[in-house]
Amino acid sequence: MIVATEYEFDAAHNLPNYAGKCERLHGHTYRLKVLCEAPVNPSTGLAIDFAELKKVVRSRVIDVLDHTYLNETIPIPSAENIAIWIWDRIAPSGLPLKEIWVHETPGCYVIYRGEGPAGR
């Protein structure tokens, strides 16, 4: 079973090594989807407790990034690097992550599946 939660956070950033308008300071309302995968526990009927998933994501990600200048936390805060950073913040919680979706603008997003250091 795949269990997913969605969030929004507002943040500013710039891409220092990018030759284009995104090298200048600007902001986004990011949309984040966190997907976990686990079998349904027959005694509870749940695969993942929504409350626990929300608690982890809010404390480890949303509360840290919302209304910040992302470059102070993630040196090159592209959508790709934001997704990797989020994965690395959630993974130690033990939640069975499947995918992280980071929507930078409507229709423009990245999907990260924890490919690991070699994929970075």
Q: Is 104 a catalytic residue?
A: yes
Q: Which residue of the set 13, 22, 52, 72 is catalytic?
A: 22
Q: Is 22 a catalytic residue?
A: yes
Task: Spell out the domains of the chain, with CATH numbers in brackets.
Answer: 1-25+52-97 (3.30.479.10)
Residue 114 CA to residue 120 CA, distance in Å, equals 10
Q: What digits encode the pLDDT tens for the residues 13-46?
A: 999 999 999 899 999 999 999 999 999 999 999 9
- Please list the alpha-helical segments (H only) found in the chain: 50-57, 63-65, 79-90
Q: In the β-sheet with 2-13, what is the strand arrangement from edge to edge?
A: 68-69, 2-13, 26-37, 97-105, 108-112
Closest CA to 9 of 61, 56, 78: 61
Number of Cβ within a 10 Å radius of residue 67: 9
Where is pLDDT greater, at 42 or 120?
42
Site of tokens 């949303």: 62
Q: Is 36 a catalytic residue?
A: no
Q: Which is it for strands 68-69 and 2-13: parallel, antiparallel or unpaired?
A: parallel
Note the pTM of the prediction, 2 decimals: 0.93
C-alpha triplet 81, 85, 89: angle, nearest 5°: 170
